[in-house]
Amino acid sequence: MSAETTSPGKVHALLNPRNVVIVGASDRPGNWAERAARNLRQYGFEGKIFPYNPTRDEIWGEKCYRSFADLPEKPDHLLVVVPAKFVAATLRDGAKAGARSANILSSGFDEAPGEEGAALGRELAQAIAETGLAVCGPNCMGNFNSSSKFFTLTDDRPHNFIEGPVALFGQSGGIVMAIKRGLEERGLVASAFVTSGNETGLNSADYIDYFAQQPHIKALVCYLESIRAPEAFLAACRRARAAGKPVVVMKLGASSEGREAAAAHTGALAGALDAFDAVAGAAGALRVRNLDDLVETVEYLAHAPLPKGDRISAMTFSGGFRGLLLDCAELSGLKFPALSEATRERLDNILGVGTILGNPLDAGFTALSSNKAYMDCVQTLVDDPDIDIVMLQEEVPRWPGSERKEANLRAVNELAPKAGKPIVFISMISYGQNDYSRNLRAQLPNLTFLQEPDRILRTMRAITDYVKNGQALSTAARPRNAQARAILEEALRKAGPATLDEVTSKRVLSLYGIATPREELARSADEAAAAANRIGYPVVAKVVSAALPHKSDIGGVIVNLKNEAEMRAAFAKISGAVAALKDRPVMDGVLVAEMYRGELECVIGAARDPEVGHVILFGSGGVNLEIMRDSALSAPGLDRQKALALIDRTRAGRLTQGYRGKPALDRNVLATTIVGLSHLIEDCGDLIDSVDINPFLVGVQGGAALDGLIVLRR
């Protein structure tokens, strides 16, 4: 396999072309083809630029070519600005002539409403597959690469061609360029950026794989509306994490309206953000909430090392700012742990205040006028092994005259590479830059400056979560459960509903160590009465039918049956309720189960997200499921420790630890169930759409899945 046929090789060809053929060259005022040609020349692209239009011999005062055969050399990169219906043919013709890559600015494909756009999208995908071209787009705005002086954007604003620490790509050209401007305001230059559009050809996974291999890149920044190739995207995020390159993601899809907007704009479905965080976060994506948070996160990653943990200490010069930090830490789920006795004593000796100091440390009331006292305090916090991140209040001075502050900044800049932990300067409020502050900032490459406490703490939470997600636990290899897979494959071969009945669902779950109550399937009233006698009253009676996944809705569940007469009456009532249904579903019998006793109803489940695949869920179950909306998600691949951590992220989890005098509940049985379900998804996820164990009733000792439902992926 040649380098140019690999994913990174294709992106390299796209961003480092030998020449550019502008297909659809036009002299219509303000057209994109002319603006792209002007930018290529203005920024010093060293290859040839060939205008191409089958109807013109001259354009922009220079020769225009009517066919690829007329070109004086083989085409390499096609910048395509023609109507959508001509794009596929253009790619085929260009590839035959020797082109390696193409950037399609044209729109009117999957993102357009109606069948015509969808058909053109399919035709384009076929042409890309046939030619093997490295294709960016369609429906994008061009690309930029500083090292090759390659600039096909249609933007008229000035741009810096400096090898910076950031690579930027995304499905919205307007947002990508806005991010670029926001980063530049903070002195952060993007070495390259790609407006990827619909991603019919190259997709986000390809760009991640390429940029993660570039040694000067410290952070990969991605704006996502949808994920075209989920498995490839997750695998690329894992490779980027292994290479030490965080993938910072701004993802559309927090609201149903946002997901609809994403589908309308890119022609693809956007997934839920909580599922994205669970699965993509575990893979190595660092999702931020908004574009301002994205800038803060990149500011951190470009200048500071990743922290080892989330224990933060701060030194401020304002009691008010100290309070803001504490409030924002609470909102973000972070804490400022108490300073150790040794650190407090050392600070007390430096400051001479004769009082116990808190965290954040408010040094505003002291005479920290000497650089030595300031640096002694900073060194004390750095030396504390119980502190992972040191925060210091200071803005970048915007005018001369702050010699003491500048001396402190320069001294910390020298200390930072040797500190062994990140040192972060923080400000009370957002502030802009001027020429003086930009020049000073450039002289402090080892320092990161974060702005505004709420944004600062959100950023630190995102970064510390990224670090925690990367601390994967190694799990022992285990054999796959062939019996469970055989049951599911047999069910898929049969016609009928996608749901398995409760008996079959629980049979599969039990193969993974998931406990169920004592229960028997009865096909007659006599069998039901005999089963109840063996189990022991009181019992529960439930209809068994794959066509009736929601049994309670039709009166198919009757509880607390105390004797044989009640059992026989319940069997007759359930049978009658099913017979009365219009569609006359098949009833396999009635499940007779013990009235299992426990303390807390939980839900444990798995569901397939359309973008990132399966997620595992734990939370408050039973009747509380819809009311409390108390749940947490995780990627599959859980071991016991990860399962317990998932439980602890919920209110239900806190109740299991004992609450207001109530005994602690059996967390081990919950962890066993979660791990078992995770193993089921690992073994058979390609056959399963979702699994629902609700409720799982847990007690002081033991627990059981009172109900279970597996939905097949038909």
Same domain, 262 and 289: yes
pLDDT digits (tens, 9 = 90+) for 14-65: 999 999 999 999 988 879 999 999 999 999 999 999 999 999 999 999 999 9
Same domain, 609 and 695: yes
**356 falls in which pLDDT band (50, 70, 90)?**
very low
pLDDT at residue 284 tops 70: yes
**264 falls in which pLDDT band (50, 70, 90)?**
very low
CATH of the domain at 555: 3.30.1490.20
Lowest-confidence pick of 128-137, 357-366, 483-492: 357-366
Same domain, 286 and 430: no
Same domain, 65 and 205: yes
Tell me the C-alpha distance between 267 and 225, whole Å: 10
Q: What percent of the chain has pLDDT over 90?
A: 80
Same domain, 706 and 590: no
CATH of the domain at 443: 3.40.50.261
Q: Following DSSP, what letter does each residue of 313-335 receive, concatenated?
A: EEEES-HHHHHHHHHHHHHHT--
pLDDT at residue 365 tops 90: no
Domain termination residue (choose one: 272, 301, 330):
301
**259 falls in which pLDDT band (50, 70, 90)?**
very low
**Most trustworthy range by pLDDT among 172-176, 371-375, 457-461:** 457-461
pLDDT in the model for residue 263: 41
pLDDT digits (tens, 9 = 90+) for 693-706: 999 999 999 999 99
Number of domains in the chain: 4
Sign of CA dihedral 172, 176, 179, 185: negative
CATH of the domain at 216: 3.40.50.720
Locus of tokens 């960016």:
136
Reduce the DSSP state of residue 284 to 3 states and report it: coil
Span 634-645, average pLDDT? 94
| Residues 509 and 693: beta-carbon distance below 8 Å | yes
**358 falls in which pLDDT band (50, 70, 90)?**
confident
Same domain, 369 and 326: yes
pLDDT digits (tens, 9 = 90+) for 667-684: 999 999 999 999 999 999
pLDDT at residue 516 tops 80: yes
Tell me the C-alpha distance between 275 and 273, whole Å: 5
Contacts of residue 684, Cβ cutoff 8 Å, sequence gap at least 6: 481, 484, 485, 488
Q: What percent of the chain has pLDDT over 70?
A: 94
Of the candidates 693, 702, 709, 512, which has an alpha carbon nearest to the alpha carbon of residue 596? 702
**267 falls in which pLDDT band (50, 70, 90)?**
very low
pLDDT in the model for residue 407: 94
Q: 340: domain range?
A: 304-470
The tokens describing 312, both together, are: 């933060």
| Residues 265 and 111: beta-carbon distance below 8 Å | yes
Same domain, 577 and 625: no
Same domain, 197 and 250: yes
**Residue 89 region by backbone torsions, left for phi larger than 0, else alpha for psi between -120 and 50, else beta:** alpha
471 vs 662, more confident: 662
In degrees, rounded to 5, the angle at the alpha carbon of residue 140 between the alpha carbons of residues 134 and 141 is 110
| Residues 99 and 133: beta-carbon distance below 8 Å | yes
454 vs 252, more confident: 454
Same domain, 293 and 359: no
pLDDT at residue 368 tops 80: no
Q: Mean pLDDT in the chain?
A: 91
Span 129-155, average pLDDT? 94
Question: For every residue of 571-631, which 3-state class applies, written as one string?
Answer: HHHHHHHHHCCCCCCCCCEEEEEECCCCCEEEEEEEEEECCCEEEEEEEECCCHHHHHCCE
Same domain, 585 and 605: no
Question: What's the pTM value of the predicted model, to 2 decimals?
Answer: 0.90
- Beta-bridged to residue 225, according to DSSP, are none
Tell me the C-alpha distance between 298 and 222, whole Å: 11
pLDDT digits (tens, 9 = 90+) for 112-128: 888 999 999 999 999 99
Structural domain includes residue 435: yes
